[in-house]
Amino acid sequence: MSIDTLSRKIRSFDTIVLFGNNFGMFGTPERVRKVLKDWADKTTPGTRILAESTNPYCGGAPVLDRNYYHRNRQRDIMPGQSRLRFRYGGFTSPSFDWLFVSRNEMQTILRGTGWHQGRILGARSSDPYVAVLEKD
């Protein structure tokens, strides 16, 4: 379901799963903070989020290379912020924002949202990882 639909129904969940790099679906750090603050206000104590992302600096994030994240820094946006669209056959989707973040960047983004990183699942910092986000 969409983020907006999920936000309206969020009270009924005790665990929210954002696998498949879906921490990035928020698109920008500002949108992440806005949505997660809303979720923190609406969810019950003990609710957690399993959020997957990929470190944009280690070659695992699709479409990102050093030139891409250096251009992003020059534009004053996060290095792992990307603009994507899908093409399949004759169909092309509208462009949308996606965000790839390192473990440390995620931790920084979470400040003030009502969530913090608990455990990190993923052996190497270069691998995709899952952060267990817990309510403050």
In this prediction, residue 22 carries a pLDDT of 94
In this prediction, residue 76 carries a pLDDT of 94
**93 in a structural domain:** no
* Residues facing residue 21 across a β-bridge: none
pTM of the model: 0.88
Q: Enumerate residues 6+ apart whose C-beta is below 8 A from 43.
A: 10, 11, 13, 14, 135
In this prediction, residue 48 carries a pLDDT of 97
**78 in a structural domain:** no
Domain with 51 in it: 3-62+100-135
Give the integer Cα–Cα distance in Å for 90 and 108. 40
What is the chain's length? 136
User: Per-residue pLDDT tens for 103-131?
Assistant: 999 999 999 999 999 999 998 888 899 99
Euclidean distance between the first and the last CA atom of the chain, given in angstroms as a whole number: 26
**91 in a structural domain:** no
What phi, psi does 95 have (nearest 5°)?
Answer: -70, 150
In this prediction, residue 91 carries a pLDDT of 95
Q: What is the CATH number of the domain that holds 52?
A: 3.40.50.150
Go through 17-48 and write b for each residue having 16 or more CB atoms within 10 A of its CB, e for each that does not. Answer: ebeebbbbbbbebeebbebbeebbeebeeebb
